[in-house]
Amino acid sequence: MQKLIECVPNFSEGREQNIIRQITDAIRSAEGVSLLDVDPGASTNRTVVTFVGDPEAAVEAAFRAIKKAAELIDMGKHKGAHPRMGATDVCPFVPVSNVSWEEAIECANQLGKRVGEELRIPVYLYEKAAKDKARSNLSVIRAGEYEGFFEKIKQAEWKPDFGPAVFNEKSGGTVIGVRDFLVAYNVNLNTKSVRRATSVAFDVREQGRVKTEDGTAWGKPALDANGEPVRIPGALKHVKAIGWFVKEYGIAQMSMNLTNIEETPLHVAFDACVEAAAKRGMRVTGSEIVGMVPKKCLVDAGRYFLRKQRWSEGASEEELIDIAIRSMGLGELKPFDPNEKVIEFKIESAEPKKSLVKMNLREFCNETLSDSPAPGGGSVAALMGALGASLGGMVANLSAGKRGWDDKLEYFSDWAVKAQQLKDELLSLVDEDTTAFNKVMDAFGLPRESADEKTARAAAIEEATKHAAEVPLKVMETASKSYALLAEMAERGNPASVSDVGVGALATRACIEGAALNVRINLGQLKDEKFRTGLQDKVRKVSANSEAQFKTIIQVVEGKLGKS
């Protein structure tokens, strides 16, 4: 797997497009990175940039961007609503795929060392990269902001991790670190009052508010036995929030950082704001995501809102994301395009490749019918399996919505969700099978002039062919999971759709038997006897189990059709 790490630098410039462009051009100039998102804000005077690449490339791109920002941004003249301490205010690394926390922390250290030594900018490490755990929290480091750091940096406990212990008047300081996905999320209110927005922010943020002796917002702070202010915690864990006014929209917002989206997902934060605002006589009118968001955030939100509607959660990813966007009003202030804002989608579009599953039906059939050997039987078998799972899921969704079956909603919804997962797995195997075949063809095309080249070519062909045999076996094993779904739908699903269950079972059986043929034709080319025998045994077991389950389901289907 490719090593992929995300970097999300925040620059203290959100108004001058020429400056923003020069910084992003510096990122683009580093080979091996993909610039995914540039999100400027005029009121905050801040731009959040997102790019991905392998660790080495990401560090290089980040350094070039920080260097360019230091050249172009004068912090002595900077004004904006967002807390900040430097031209490049914060620069976190976020592991995406095949990158450990240790590797990500090494990226932060490499970048911090270069920025400190070569650019003479004070650097502090935060979150998982922090050397001093007392300084792991970004808000603690940034307290006092740019203006306060001239004196703060003179204190022994605020000596930078890298760079000089003298504040850089033009560039300020930079905070570099490693963190989980952080979602920068703003919730819109039907007010212009910053004070009212701040009250809602205090209601929801983990830190809450300081308790007063008389219970009023302006009263004397209540103190504990140690003389420290007593705090009333907010409703949400792992949430930082403030209220502010956004001039270009003419509204006040709660601006939040969700620092642990597993513990406090996006939809939970949204609903907490809705509830808190309503208690104070206000209304949430929508929300916006600053920067990018993991796909899971929106998929989980879509399921949550369907659950609130007492509807089946077994919708496609695309539909779930659309429901999330509409439910949270993510497009109220400006259009929300998932292909631009969802990190997984943006990575896919940054590395365009021909995908069979993104073709329409006619294009797929035309491609199959052409004189190219791929896609062939393996990809078609996987597609049949996806259709079999889809039919089972359709019956589950119809059953979940059947009038008078309200008590069965959760049961059928769970099966519909499983059907969506199986469908998506099998669709991914449509492309994977063709990719595996193409790798075999590539291996056959390797040079074979010298003895060493012949040996290397033979080894490459053997490995590629093994993989080409494993993929259709994976298709068989994945499709076989659809039988449990189809069996339940045959027995307990909407009886008006029992014929669809039968077609689903036929498609699943055809998928498994078709994929078995593709395993066998690849095994015939292999020299590794042990590997070949092992896969043959697995194929026989899956095929035998498939036949038994298919017959059981078809008997139920035929029995119910016979009564109609």
Please give the positions annotated as active site: 82, 433
Closest CA to 342 of 128, 178, 187, 181: 181
Is the preceding peptide bond at 375 cis, omega within 30 degrees of 0?
yes
How many C-beta neighbours within 10 Å does residue 453 have?
Answer: 12
Contact assessment for residue 11 and residue 348, using Cβ atoms and an 8 Å cutoff? no
Phi, psi of 21 (to 5 degrees): -65, -40
What span, in angstroms and rounded, lies between the C-alpha atoms of 525 and 519? Answer: 11
Sheet strands (E) in 120-208: 123-127, 174-178, 183-189
> How many other C-beta atoms lie within 10 A of the C-beta of residue 455?
11
Closest CA to 244 of 184, 160, 319: 184
Encoded tokens for 415: 């099966």
Pick from 314, 323, 317: nearest CA to 493: 314
CA dist., res. 221 & res. 216, Å (int): 10
Q: Which residues contact 26 (CB under 8 A, 6 or more apart)?
A: 61, 64, 65, 67, 68
**What distance in Å separates the CA atoms of residue 108 and residue 556, rounded to the nearest whole number?**
60
Reduced to 3 states (helix: H, G, I; strand: E, B; else coil), residue 172 is: strand
480: Cβ contacts below 8 Å, ≥ 6 apart:
508, 512, 542, 545, 546, 549
**Are residues 173 and 115 in contact, defined by beta-carbon separation less than 8 angstroms?**
no
Residue 304 in tokens: 């949550």
Neighbours of 491 (CB within 10 A): 13
**Amino acid identity, residue 70?**
A
What secondary structure, in 3-state letters, does 280-323 show?
CCCCEEEEEEECCECHHHHHHHHHHHHHHCCCCCCCCHHHHHHH
- The answer to whether the CB of 211 falls within 8 A of the CB of 232 is yes
Can you tell me which residue has the tokens 């009263």?
A: 219
Nearest to 52 by CA among 113, 9, 108, 114: 9
Per DSSP, the residues of 25-63 read HHHHTSTTEEEEEEEEETTTTEEEEEEEE-HHHHHHHHH
